[in-house]
Each structure stands twice: as structure tokens, then as C-alpha cells.
Amino acid sequence: MTFNGYHHIGLLVRDMEKSLRFYTDGLGGTETFSFPMGDSGKLIHMVDLGGSAVIELIPRGVEDAESNARWAHIALRTDDARAAYAKALAAGALSRTEPTDKRLGGVMPASNAFVTGPDGEVIELFEVK
């Protein structure tokens, strides 16, 4: 058995319509399918951002207590961190860190930026140079 990347990142969201619009219209993702969340009457939506970047948007109400662990951030691979940053801001994201060129570990040339999405999620826009 081997692992080959990741299949998707699950993200609990308070406002499904707002998050779905952000990841599709705003960032250019494609909703690949949706399916019922048990008998709750709510739908889970899968959004493909290209490559292996798939986000599973999982609904929860504002009143629902968060009892799961949280991811520190999701890193989306891009070929242009600056353009991705501008696109995210135009879609309504808030800036956390502007795009910066660096050498990770002193070896890997990269550019990255961080934004906050519509439900407070931290998104890293990551470009390997």
C-alpha cells in the first residue's frame, strides 16, 4: 500500500452559499458533485481547484459547537503566488501575509502568501520556483 498525495481537504463552513461562491466563482474552482449529509437535509459539496487541490465543504450551523481538531492551514499549489493572492483578495479573502520569495530550508526556491477565506480558514498560496 502506498499514499499518492491527498484526495481532499474537508472544511467545516458556517455559510455554505458564501463559501461555495468563494471557492468556485472567486477562485475559479469547479463543483464536481454534492451529496446529502446523512438525514440532516444539508448538502456536502466537493470543489476541484485543479491538480490535486480538492476542497470538501461540510455544512455546520452557526450554533454548532466545533469539537473537531482544526487544520493549521491548507496550502494550494499554484504557478503564480502573486496572481493567486490578487485573485483571492478580489474574491473577498483577507490578507494575512503578502507574497514573499524565499528559500525553504535554504534550498527550495518558493513564493508564498497567506489569506483568510470566508469562514476564517487560513489558505496558503504556494508556488515552487
In a domain, residue 32? The reply is yes
- Residue where the block lists cell 484526495: 7
pTM: 0.75
CATH code: domain of residue 120: 3.10.180.10
In a domain, residue 91? The reply is yes
Range of the domain at 85: 9-62+72-128
In a domain, residue 56? The reply is yes
Please state, in angstroms and rounded to a whole number, the distance separating the CA atoms of residues 52 and 6.
Answer: 7
Please state, in angstroms and rounded to a whole number, the distance separating the CA atoms of residues 59 and 48.
Answer: 17
> pLDDT per residue over 20-70, tens digit each?
999 999 999 999 988 888 788 888 899 999 988 889 898 875 555 555 546
Give φ, ψ of 29 to 5 degrees.
Answer: -75, 170
In a domain, residue 111? The reply is yes
> pLDDT per residue over 10-32, tens digit each?
888 888 999 999 999 999 999 99
Question: How many distinct structural domains can be found in the chain?
Answer: 1
pLDDT attached to residue 10: 86
In a domain, residue 17? The reply is yes
Please state, in angstroms and rounded to a whole number, the distance separating the CA atoms of residues 118 and 16.
Answer: 10
